[in-house]
Chains A and B, each alone.
Chain A
Amino acid sequence: MGRWAVHKGERRRRCFSRGPGRPRLRPLALVGVAIVALFAVAGPAGASASPSPSPPAEASPGANAAVDAAGDPAAEIFAENCSGCHGSRGEGGFGPTLAAAGFASLVAPMVEEGGITMPSFGDQLSDAQIQGVAEYVAAHIADPAARTAVVADGGETYRLYCAGCHSTTGRGGALTRGRNAPDLSQYPAAEALAAMILGRGNMPAFAGNTLDVRQQAAVGLYVGVLVDPPSPGGHGLGYLGPVTEGAVSAIALLILVFLAVWLAWKSRTAKP
């Protein structure tokens, strides 16, 4: 299947259908109009976005190679579906900036399932489209620094800033006064990125000067590990730690007591 194959729900682009050499004027004009229209809509929203200060370290999304407007379907999907909230170059708006979205593995599940405020696109877009736009965002929209993030660094940052509320295993925790830090495994990892960047409720924002783009992306990668952690030892028992392990050990003890009852059953009425 090439880039030119038709996917469900997508308008046919007959760019080369009438043979090579034809000028590709009409599609280009259409895309240009779309971009202008998007700016008209997204511009005011972008101006009132939550003040995330740009520290010197964070390169603007525009430092990427210019958004490929030359008919890349992923770019078009992005322009149609994503830029409305995230800005035409992923600089943020109603939704958070995409500067830290340096990995397709972070973006794709979020697009597929949606998040707390982000709608899901799993029904509108095919798996290949989703993968395509995810790779596009990672390669062209995200900050180049974010793409160098390493999951192990994310783990260290996670344990310093996040584990206190969300626990080392990401299963969340109760906070005082009726609040709680949610279970991170219930959402795609990128939801954690969004919460980090924007702050949410009692969770402070960690973007900007606390964590730069590379650190944010690294934490996102680590949260991705926690969403489905490796369990070589067997069933994870909810990853809640020694409390559940203790309760389960009581079951082992109960089984052994039951076996003892069985073993001593016949002698319980024994007479000398």
Chain B
Amino acid sequence: MEVADGEAVSEPETATHGAPPVPGGGSPPPARGSGRPPGWPAAIGLLATVVGSVGFVVAFVTNASNAWLGGSLAVALLGLGMALAYWGRDLAGDEVISGPYPVPHDDAPGAAALGGDLEQSAGVITRRGALARFLVFGVAVFALSQAVILGALGPWPGRSLFVTDWRPGRRLVTIDGEPVTRDVLAGGGSLVAFPEGHTDAANSQIALFHFFGGELKPQPGRETWSPEGFVAYSRICTHVGCAVAQYMDEVQMLACPCHQSTFDLLDGARPVSGPAGRPLPQLPLAIDSDGYLVAQSDFTEPVGPGFWDAG
């Protein structure tokens, strides 16, 4: 057996099965002249506890930084922990005892008797066939009926997933409410826009781009949607709904920062890599007589991630 610093280890006691042995833990006093005082690690730990606790109070009262406040508390806790752990490990003896595991219960006659009793008691109900079935039916109907409470938690989605706040002729505005004119993006780049009067409408947010060199590939049925090369796509990723914000100017791609779905802006924002399966919905644009960009209508498909009824 290993010997701890300056201490003799008590002889472990064996116990007979079943009978709780006499507690014999603890170490005898150390032999004289053993050098360091016994349990000195615990003493150091407790010293750290005291110092740390005082430090914690001081740090709190003087509004010290998080590092000092937490550091002193950590010192106190670690000191106390080391002291107790060391005490339990090295000063409490190496008593090792044995005892019985609970015996696996293999009482077939007992289980059979229980089964019989249960059957007999339940017979009061099971004897009456039709009535018993009615009881089961009634309880089941009652239990299932309570599920309707869930309906109070929120509205039924209805058409809400298919509609945004874009309307025919509604102007595009920036997040600060400024209407968007045709000279915006003359220097390139992109703009985040909302329907006028709805700058808090999360499902209506769009990203506006201006491709005036004819790079835009016409999408079938959408030839009138991009006046003067302006094109707007929904900014809600069709994967799981993050705001698609990574505009890459050299390759004209818009990527989503969440899972890196990448959409080709020149080709109807169709996904070219990443886990998105559907293109970003395009908002049909027009330029009104005053030079403001407006929507021709709402999106023609649901924005954002897909769902069962969206097909």
Contact = CB atoms under 8 A, between A and B. Distances in A.
A21 interface: no
Contacts of A165: 245-247, 257
A272 interface: yes
Contacts of B96: 267, 270-272
Interface in A154-174: 160-161, 163-165, 173
A209 B190 CA distance: 10
Interface stretch (B128-136, B178-186, B213-221): B178-186
Q: Is the interface of A mostly helix, strand, loop or mixed?
A: loop
Contacts, number: 99
B224 interface: no
Interface residues of B, number: 42
A202 B187 contact: no
A202 B248 contact: yes
A204 B245 contact: no
Contact of B190 (A207, A210, A234, A272): A210
Given A210-B185, A232-B65, A204 B89 contact: no
A261 to B, nearest CB: 12
A176 interface: yes
Contact of A177 (B191, B245, B251): B251
B107 interface: no
Nearest to A232: B66
B255 interface: yes
Given A164-B246, A271-B12, A205 B253 contact: no
Nearest to A167: B257
A52 B187 CA distance: 6
B183 A266 contact: no
Given A51-B186, A205-B189, A210-B185, 20 more contacts: A51-B187, A53-B183, A160-B175, A164-B246, A176-B255, A176-B260, A199-B187, A202-B250, A204-B188, A204-B190, A204-B247, A209-B183, A209-B186, A209-B191, A232-B66, A265-B89, A266-B2, A266-B90, A266-B94, A272-B97
Interface of B: 2, 12, 14-15, 65-67, 85, 88-90, 94, 96-98, 175, 183-192, 243-251, 253, 255, 257, 260, 262, 273-274
8 contacts: A52-B187, A175-B248, A177-B262, A199-B187, A201-B249, A205-B188, A209-B184, A234-B67
